[in-house]
A and B are shown apart, each in its own frame.
Chain A
Amino acid sequence: MFGFKYLGNTHVPHRKNTAQMPAVKMPPPDEVLLHVAQNIGAPAKVIVKAGDEVKVGQVIAEAGGFVSAPIHASVSGKVVKVDKYLCYGGQTVDAVRIQSDGLMTVDESIAPPVITDLDSLVEAVRNSGLVGLGGAGFPTSVKLAGAKNGSINTLVVNGAECEPYITADTRTMLDDTAYVVAGIELLEKCIPSIESIVFGIEANKPECIARLQEAFKNDKKVTVKKLPSLYPQGSEKVLVYNCTGRTVMEGKLPSDAGVIVMNVSSLAFIAKYAETGMPLVERTLTLDGSAVSEPKNITAPIGTAIGKVIEFGGGLKEEAGKVLYGGPMMGVCICNLEDPVLKTTNAITAFNKKDSTPAKETACIHCGRCVSVCPHSLNPTEFARALNVEMKEVRMEKLDAAKVMLCMECGSCSFVCPANRPLVQNNRIAKAELRAYLAHQATLTK
């Protein structure tokens, strides 16, 4: 209404130590562990059993529903066990352990898919097992299927990579520029309703911006937008707003605003898959953090134990206090170095003991830093106050009125808080409680 709104943001350290390092390919490990909780939505259903021989690219678990994605064997060898695995989210899920024969024999069924229109593209992407490689893990085929009604007119490509340390997408843009271009062409061909394409890239990656500007200089539809190097530019709603000026409303998807958002690595993967037919069996990730002796980018088979990836990367220079899936702002702690590389693992960050020690929490001094950095203009202190309300109905009402569900947990508030208060952590608790409460209320009214 009043034109452009300035969204809150914050300076987080960039620490892109590995930006100049092309990914090193890791040899197949002795064993991979593929558990089925690798995407948002329904977990996949295992279709192999112990003793089965599998080859690279062979489906070992089928999509478990519409919002789901199949999982493929990332090494060739023998299934040694199908059992349960306690994964980082706290849930116990089915997991397939494959002992590698070291040969990496490719499955005979692997052949380039025939993609002619959107339907065949959605089908192909669904078979490829692709989920959003930026970290959220939303099945890409579902996202593309949303374009079938012709409502999508803008494609936003996410090359922001705003988390500290991570440079996996940076390397995709530099090393796989041809695939990025091919991916754009493929999507343009299959989704004719797309009128414009915006690449959002943070200003701290001038090489990527220059490379893509050069690659698309003859394509009038494509704009490469230089975003300020301020966290969290890569958050979906923030990116859509900064690239197109459109607001994705509460509880809606970008497609409701006519936008489809694609991570740049996902885009490059689609083009690669169209060329080779090899499903998502490996991924590039950044290994970095204060405990890591030699930061680097590594391409590892999905299912490789984190400990093995660290070992391949040169090991740790000091004992690790925390090891994360992803970067330090939104990454998830693993409790076990056996945990496997997932489809969504864009980085492994290992911190030394000193950086892992939680800071002492003190009283809120009402400084307003959390309020001014929040990209959604929320007030985290209001949530904290609301959470303290004794009566459940009142508490839920207050949290709902304060719009806690809009919080996408970027962690900026907790990052800037001088009193080290657990702000985003509170928001997670509040969101979980409110979600359950609203669902319960909905069943009551039915």
Chain B
Amino acid sequence: MEKLIVSTSPHLRSTTTTQTVMRDVLIALLPATVASVVLFGIKAAFIVLACVASAVLSEALFCIINKRPQTVGDLSAAVTGLLLALNLPAKTEIWQCVVGSVFAIIVVKCLFGGIGCNFANPAITGRIFMLICFAKVAGGSHTVFADVTSGATPLAAIKAGEELTPTLTDMLIGNRGGAIGETCAVALLLGFIYLVLRKVIHWETPVIFMGTVFVLSLIIKGDLNAALYQLLGGGLIIGAVFMATDYVTTPINRAGKCVFALGCGIITVLIRFWGSYPEGVSFSILLMNILSPYIEKMCAKKPLGGVKNA
């Protein structure tokens, strides 16, 4: 008989791995991806392909050049690429997509030590980088169905004091201006339900984030309709469901996640109503990312039976 293997307990591991978690996120993003192609045409598919491919390739190359273990197999680079793509408007040039993806992966993630070590969400930071560099990214673009001539997104229109063109139903199914993946609320909420059911994320973060924006808008505007536009407009849903729930850049404890979401909601409203940008979701998440370690410390649970050290 061969020798027995000896190790310390536990001798059983759950079947969830980093890869299955990331695969679930990709599956959850599938409805939004399909919706983006349906709503914005074949250009959306090219954007998605360009972002995912360049994200995965740049991580693979980084690992090879630096002689580090290959990490693209965990699918996190693909998630970053897809999330970034869905946050870009259809008129973004393909080369811009590539630049944004490479920035997100190399600068924001790999240079900080790869998966688990970055302090800011790569997709969000990549998007903000593109927003600052390329004017086109900020404007938003129009769906193939909407026959309005204005290129402004609903939030930009609200900010400029223009008449709102898309109806609330349009907002729900995504027939409005904006980034390719952020407009279809129904598809994103499907993804949200899937992630909660698969226990990939807790429900609190998205609900508190979106709830805070909704309630604060209602208080400030005093109008239910206006608050609903704030809820469905811009990148709030995709940000709340997929970006504010990122593991690496948010507090590790559940209470901390709730505080994080609340902070995101407040900053988003501040930027939307009083800031110089029509949309504040990305900035709010990035700002809260920076505060994450402190929130985590503040919200640590008291251990059961713990005695305060003298």
Residue in A237, A376, A411 whose beta carbon sits within 8 Å of that of B10 in the complex:
A411
B117 part of interface (Cβ distance < 8 Å): yes
Nearest Cβ on chain A to B26's Cβ, whole angstroms: 15
**A364-B116 contact, Cβ under 8 Å, with A321-B5, A419-B18:** yes
On whether A406 and B1 interact (CB within 8 A), knowing A329-B12, A424-B10, the answer reads no
B4 touches A237 (CB 8 A): no
Q: Could you write out 11 A-B pairs with CB less than 8 Å apart?
A: A322-B5, A322-B6, A333-B5, A335-B3, A356-B11, A372-B254, A375-B304, A406-B305, A414-B13, A418-B20, A428-B8
A415 touches B10 (CB 8 A): yes
B8 and A368 contact, CB distance less than 8 A: no
Please tell me if A106 contacts chain B, counting CB pairs below 8 Å.
no
Residues of B within 8 A of A337 (CB): 1, 4
Least CB distance, A256 to chain B, in whole angstroms: 11
Candidates B7, B71, B74; contact of A358 at CB < 8 Å: B7
**Nearest chain B CB to A359 CB, angstrom units:** 5
Which residues of chain A are near B41, meaning CB under 8 Å?
Answer: none
What string of 1s and 0s marks CB contacts (under 8 Å) between A108-142 and chain B?
00000000000000000000000000000000000
Asked if B18 and A365 make an inter-chain contact with CB atoms under 8 angstroms apart, the answer reads yes
Question: CB of B165 within 8 A of chain A?
Answer: no
- Give the chain B neighbours of A329 by CB distance below 8 A: 9-12
Which chain A residue shows the least CB distance to B11? A328
Q: How large is the interface on B (under 10, 10 to 19, 20 to 34, 35 or more residues)?
A: 35 or more
Which residues of chain A have a CB within 8 Å of any CB of chain B?
5, 7, 10, 12-13, 164, 237, 241, 247-252, 319-324, 328-337, 349, 351, 355-356, 358-359, 362-369, 371-372, 375-379, 381, 400-401, 403, 406, 409, 411, 414-420, 424-425, 428
Stretch of B139-147, B190-198, B220-228, B295-303 on the interface side: B295-303
Specify which chain A residues have a CB less than 8 angstroms from the CB of B149 in the assembled complex. Answer: none
**Contacts A250-B305, A329-B12 supplied; 19 other A-B pairs, CB < 8 Å:** A249-B305, A321-B5, A322-B5, A328-B12, A337-B4, A362-B74, A363-B116, A365-B247, A366-B250, A367-B252, A372-B253, A376-B303, A376-B305, A400-B309, A406-B303, A417-B14, A418-B20, A419-B18, A424-B10
How far apart are the CA atoms of A263 and B14 in the complex, in Å?
A: 28
Q: Are B10 and A356 in contact (CB under 8 A)?
A: no
What CA separation (Å) do A297 and B225 show in the bound complex? 66
Q: When chains A and B are docked, how far (Å) is the Cα of A337 from the Cα of B2?
A: 11
Complex alpha-carbon distance, A371 and B247, angstroms = 13
Q: Does B304 contact A5, Cβ atoms closer than 8 Å?
A: yes
Chain B residue at smallest Cβ distance from A412: B10
B70-98 to A contact mask, C-beta < 8 Å, 1/0: 01001010000000000000000000000
Residues of chain A within 8 A (CB-CB) of B10 are 328-330, 411, 414-415, 424
By beta carbon, the residue of chain B nearest A241 is B304
Task: Pick the contact of B306: A250, A322, A324 (CB < 8 A).
Answer: A250
Tell me if B111 is interfacial: C-beta within 8 Å of chain A: no
Residues of B within 8 Å of A371, CB to CB, are 252-253
User: Bound complex: CA of A414 vs CA of B7, how far in Å?
Assistant: 13
Query: CB within 8 A of B252: which of A247, A358, A366?
Result: A366
Q: Is the CB of A351 within 8 A of B11?
A: yes
Which chain A residues lie closer than 8 Å to B302 at the CB level?
377
B303 touches A330 (CB 8 A): no
The answer to whether A248 touches B5, judged by C-beta atoms less than 8 angstroms apart, is: no
CB-nearest residue of chain A to B200: A367
What separation, in Å, do the CA atoms of A359 and B16 have in the docked complex?
A: 12
Q: Which residues on the A side are within 8 Å of B1 (C-beta)?
A: 319, 337
What is the CB-to-nearest-CB distance from B74 to chain A, in angstroms, rounded to a whole number? 7
Asked if A406 meets B17 with Cβ closer than 8 Å, knowing A321-B4, A366-B116, A425-B8, the reply is no
- Asked if residues A365 and B115 are in contact (CB atoms below 8 Å), the reply is yes
Query: Which of chain A's residues have a CB closer than 8 A to the CB of B307?
Result: 249-251
Given A328-B11, A330-B10, A406-B304, A401–B309 Cβ distance below 8 Å? Answer: yes
**Bound-state Cα–Cα, A337 to B3, Å:** 10
Q: Taking CB as reference atom, which chain A residue is nearest B116?
A: A363
In the assembled complex, B168 has its CB within 8 A of some CB on chain A = no
Q: Min CB distance, B164 to chain A, in Å?
A: 39
In the assembled complex, the CB of A381 is this many whole angstroms from the nearest CB of chain B, namely 6
User: B12–A12 contact, CB under 8 A?
Assistant: yes
Question: Which residues from A are CB-within-8-Å of B17?
Answer: 359, 362, 418-420
Q: How far is the CB of B25 from chain A (nearest CB, A)?
A: 11
Q: Point out the residues of chain B lying under 8 angstroms from A415, CB to CB.
A: 10, 12-14
Closest to A12 in B: B12
